Chain A
Amino acid sequence: MAHVRFEAVRKTFGKVVAVDDVDLEVEDGDFVVLLGPSGCGKTTLLRCLAGLEKVDSGRVLIGGRDATDLPPRRRRIAMVFQSYAVFPHLNVYKNIAFGLRMQKERKAVIRERVESSAKLLHIENLLDRYPSQISGGQRQRVAVARAIATKADVLLMDEPLSNLDALLRMEMRAELKALLRELGSTTIYVTHDQVEALSMGDRIAVMNAGRIVQLDSPLAVYDHPSDTFVGGFVGTPPMNFLSAEIVAADGAGPVVNLSGGSFPAGDSADSLTGRKLVLGIRAESIVVERQPSDGLIEAKVIVVEPLGSHNLLTVKSGEDMLKVSTSPRLFPEPDSSVWLRMDPNHIRWMDPETGAAVDSKVAAPQNAVAQ
């Protein structure tokens, strides 16, 4: 059983709290991504799981066993390091075979496993080369092959793709995802790249300042961020955040007041009337009209970035700067005016003090544990 659990894990380095009482449960076969900016504690958490860091308090359980005091070699894990850590003094074959030789497997078994792992990573023709003779991308494959050859219970990956150039990274992302799906191993994957996290994980644990701030499927993290940090960190471009106030207008129902205009709030905001809030909305959820109309917010175009599949407009509405995506054929002039319609189904309300998402009647967050 390759079930992993962190219980109230805490790790400090001197005065710095790297991991702050983290609880996390990972089911067998789950692919969980630890996502966050540098310094958020994701790598430290991973290293605590690996046994490369000793936790100050709390427990780490692997496959039901308390692994908190076990050295790395007894935890039945395999790890891929950011710098690959491929042994320069051993050839590719010996690198991949290393873990198996430590387990004192029979030669025939070792040969079979090394060759099948190498084949999965398409490096079966490199087995007698040395790391200095192969490219960075190939070294990365060796590192992955070495990790999967041991058939460990849990696979740990520490930003394995970040040292690759952009094109290679994209290819490896898909390849790695397919490979890990085929293997079905429990995987814990650390990255700061939110595109990687969204594309690869079954679930994403977004971390900030040593804590997990949201644990959800990629879709839920994207669509229903638990606070302004998650909304601002995940998604390209980041979520727009505007100061808003919902007031009761005479007769017509509650109205959302933004610095650049107002629009009817609709049923969704019933419980929030009379409050000052932060309105979160993604660039693709804002519709751009060329003509004014009721319920639209006026905004001035600052920059138009044609991105091929769509155009990204930077507009200013009142005091707020927003990013809005439109059809690739729409090219408003800079300094001209456009009118924005906010799709109420995609508005996420956040508390202006804490940044946390505020529950509203429509669109319950999808917190289901996806498998």
Chain B
Amino acid sequence: MSGRFITWLPRLGIYVVGLVLSLFVLAPLYVITLAAFSSEEDVYAYPKELLPRDLSTETLSFFLNFAGMTDALWRSVFVALITLAISLVIGTPAGYAIARFSFRGADTVRLSVVATRAFPIVILSIPLAVIFIRWGIDDTIQGVAIAHTALALPFVVLTTASVFANVPAELEEAAQTLGCSRAGAFVRVALPLALPGLAASAIFVFIISWNEVFAASLLTLQNRTLPAEVLSLLEGAPLNFRFAGGFLLLAPSVIVILIIRRYLFTMWGRVVR
């Protein structure tokens, strides 16, 4: 009898702890969603409604109709897309090279690429702001995209290297013996198999750019991205602004995680069962 008691107690304990932690993670998400979808009067009401009784899009539309918000939102999308495109085009060949070839300096390259991730965005953005003014691209989408690409590139190189490492080199060799050139083997065999992992890292780059606020707000004045715009208006902003802003900034990130969950571990080099 005592044997069975002992085995199910730890199991119960695990579930309880897991439940508590899950509530900790989920409750704020629920709250912000509720807040963003509350009607205008509910925003200022107290005590707040804890259950979704009277949902409305007033708060969200207030936010979006606020001067410049939708423009900022589109700017965020464009910057993220440009960042995604450039960093993938530049970074994927490098990731492939690191995965497939053992060349002199491969370790140095990999190490320095990892090291760039360790440098704070803070120390990069300030001189970039000065440089961009000199080049005349301050306060532009391109400028922000350039900074974001510098931020995302190491990530892309490392994850694409991991993705290609998971595609056996023998498959490309087999394609070569069957009549493909090196490039042909890459396009017909390696790329299709790497596509899920590449897509996942592309989406992650999008989110990195979408979230980034420090550089974005330093590099722009009139043409702000969404986080930069929200930050600049934060002081004295009314509650509904904060509710809607929080939700809109957060929703794409959470949705993306829900979708690409399975590929995350492939990117990071391990497989989740």
Answer whether A and B touch in the complex at a CB cut-off of 8 Å.
yes
Residues of A within 8 A of B (CB): 50-52, 71-73, 77-79, 81, 83, 85, 87-89, 98-99, 102-103, 146, 150, 156
Q: Is the CB of A98 within 8 A of B178?
A: yes
Cβ contacts B167-195/A at 8 Å (1 or 0 each): 01011011111111110100001001100
Q: Is the CB of A52 within 8 A of B173?
A: yes
Of B168, B171, B176, B192, the residue contacting A72 (CB under 8 A) is B176
Q: Is the CB of A85 within 8 A of B173?
A: yes
Shortest Cβ gap from B83 to chain A (Å): 29
| B184 contact set on A, CB distance < 8 A | 102
CB-nearest residue of chain B to A102: B179
| B168 contact set on A, CB distance < 8 A | 83, 85
User: Which 5 A-B residue pairings sit nearest by Cβ, starting from the closest?
Assistant: A102-B179, A99-B178, A85-B174, A72-B176, A79-B177
Please classify the interface of chain B as helix (H, G, I), strand (E, B), loop, or mixed, using the class held by over half of its residues: helix
Pair count A-B, CB < 8 A? 58
A79 CA / B168 CA spacing, docked (Å): 16
CB-nearest residue of chain B to A88: B193
Q: Is the CB of B176 within 8 A of A81?
A: no
Q: Is the CB of B177 within 8 A of A72?
A: yes
CB-nearest residue of chain A to B173: A52
* Of A83, A89, A103, A156, most B-chain CB atoms within 10 Å: A89
Q: Is the CB of B170 within 8 A of A150?
A: no
| A72 contact set on B, CB distance < 8 A | 173, 176-177
CB-nearest residue of chain A to B174: A85
A150 CA / B181 CA spacing, docked (Å): 16
| B175 contact set on A, CB distance < 8 A | 87, 98
Shortest Cβ gap from A44 to chain B (Å): 13
Shortest Cβ gap from A316 to chain B (Å): 47
Provided the pairs A87-B189, A89-B192, A89-B193 are in contact, do residues A73 and B173 lie with their beta carbons within 8 angstroms? no
| Contact sample, A vs B, 21 pairs, CB 8 Å cutoff | A50-B173, A52-B176, A52-B177, A71-B181, A72-B176, A73-B176, A77-B177, A78-B178, A79-B173, A85-B168, A85-B170, A88-B171, A88-B193, A89-B192, A98-B175, A98-B178, A102-B184, A103-B179, A150-B178, A150-B179, A156-B177
| A103 contact set on B, CB distance < 8 A | 179
Q: Is the CB of A73 within 8 A of B170?
A: no
| A156 contact set on B, CB distance < 8 A | 177
CB-nearest residue of chain B to A78: B177
A103 CA / B180 CA spacing, docked (Å): 9
Shortest Cβ gap from A186 to chain B (Å): 15
Shortest Cβ gap from A16 to chain B (Å): 14
Of A50, A78, A85, the residue contacting B171 (CB under 8 A) is A85
| B171 contact set on A, CB distance < 8 A | 85, 87-88
A50 CA / B179 CA spacing, docked (Å): 12
A81 CA / B173 CA spacing, docked (Å): 9
A293 CA / B189 CA spacing, docked (Å): 71
Q: Is the CB of A73 within 8 A of B174?
A: no
Provided the pairs A85-B168, A88-B193, A89-B193 are in contact, do residues A99 and B173 lie with their beta carbons within 8 angstroms? no
| A85 contact set on B, CB distance < 8 A | 168, 170-171, 173-174
Q: Is the CB of B174 within 8 A of A71?
A: no
| B193 contact set on A, CB distance < 8 A | 88-89
Shortest Cβ gap from B104 to chain A (Å): 11
A146 CA / B178 CA spacing, docked (Å): 9
Shortest Cβ gap from A18 to chain B (Å): 15
Q: Is the CB of A81 within 8 A of B170?
A: yes
| A83 contact set on B, CB distance < 8 A | 168, 170
Instruction: List CB contacts (< 8 Å) of B188-210 with chain A.
Output: 189, 192-193
4 more A-B residue pairs beyond the given contacts A73-B177, A87-B171, A88-B171, with a C-beta to C-beta distance below 8 A: A71-B176, A81-B173, A81-B174, A150-B179
Shortest Cβ gap from A139 to chain B (Å): 12
| B181 contact set on A, CB distance < 8 A | 71, 73
A102 CA / B179 CA spacing, docked (Å): 5
| A102 contact set on B, CB distance < 8 A | 178-180, 184
A89 CA / B189 CA spacing, docked (Å): 8
A208 CA / B180 CA spacing, docked (Å): 33
Shortest Cβ gap from B132 to chain A (Å): 43
Q: Is the CB of A99 within 8 A of B179?
A: yes
| B192 contact set on A, CB distance < 8 A | 89
| A87 contact set on B, CB distance < 8 A | 171, 174-175, 189
